[in-house]
Structure 1
Amino acid sequence: MIEVQPSLNMNIYKTLESKPATYAIRKTEIKSTFLTAGRTEIEYNAFSASIPRRITVALVGNKAFNGDFSLSPFNFLPYDLRDISVHTGGHIYPMVAYKLKFKEDLFVRAYVDMYEALGMANSDRSFDISMEKFKSGWTFFVIPLTSTLDDSCGFELLRSGTTSIRLEFNTPIPTGGVEMIVLGEFDQMLMIDYNRHIVSDSNLG
């Protein structure tokens, strides 16, 4: 247990009387949507209030997602995806289309982008996803939406708008359909006032 000196404690109280304590945190939100079989193009409005700083997208078979014990819900396959893009604030991310062909091993850029977006490129850190794993059950598309297009420690200003995800496939979605899982990460300010009331910038006003 940490005990604060009485003098310091009084200074904290006086400061809180004039302004709240402010903490920058990162909030996550997960969405999912069903992609029906036979389609080759899908657009999904994932977030309609705040614009996230980063989006991670993964695809898994619908039966596995809904609890089929014979299938793994963590088998995230590419399903012959050709392109993935995020549309928000009048911008498209990434700016250059992917043109993926997983069956021909044409996916290196998406693999490298995943590491760069997570801040692990050109470093000694890794999450142990090889290129072979990336195309065979560990397929994650990580798309940064920050002003610097990387996972910087800086705080992004709160932006409002609709964020949609567009998918294009080389071949139709297989029978049974696919579930798309979307993880959005948002910068958020948490404020604690003198009366210990907690308020975040997402529920102000």
Structure 2
Amino acid sequence: MPATLFPYPGVLPETTSTGGALFTAGGIFSAVELRAMEMDGLLRRVYGETYVRWDISPDPVCRALAAAACLPPKQRPRIMLGRLTAAWVYGCAPPPARLALLVDHGRRITALAPFSPAVLHEVRLGPADGMDIAGVRVSTPLRTASDLARHGPEEESMQALLALAADPALSCPLGHVRAITAAAPRLPGKAAALDRLDRAIALAAGDPGQTRRREPVVR
């Protein structure tokens, strides 16, 4: 698995007066206590029942850890955060209503519990498709963009594609994503993916004939 782009602990200080800066319900504090501290302005919610100290802006490390905290501990090493969830981790999409989890189709995994906050997608995953962010497996920016070209709601996926490509740290230019998609053999949905990528490329180039995108709001 490629080395992470993001240092761990990232923006999180190693020690604070309370022993840390990222808090999940059931740890030091209960969910009620964390929500009360959020209302008092002491914490800001990252995702689910995970919060970060008020003076820290959540980064990919915070978001990856917050997403993982929503999943059963035994499942965390077996899955990969992907699609719009991965785009959110990278700061390129709003928080997902439900986490998108990827698992290799040849790997056995326990089914998600009823009313799970996540959706599981069985896909083909290669060794270069994932990266480690603070111990959480996340699809690489390139794999994420390739997936968003084929999957997800049109507007949200288009916005995420543009945001991924616009961040130079992610090394995910749309032209490269298109070339990889075009060269992939027997790729389901290839024609639709290429069409979406062509429209994203036109938008990025400022083509007035394309719908103007809205900037994603990242919490």
Shorter-chain TM-score tier? under 0.3
Which has the larger helix fraction?
A: 2
State which structure, 1 or 2, has the greater radius of gyration over its C-alpha atoms. 1
More relative contact order in 1 or in 2 (CA 8 Å, sep 6+)? 1
Which has the larger strand fraction?
A: 1
TM-score w.r.t. structure 1 length? 0.25
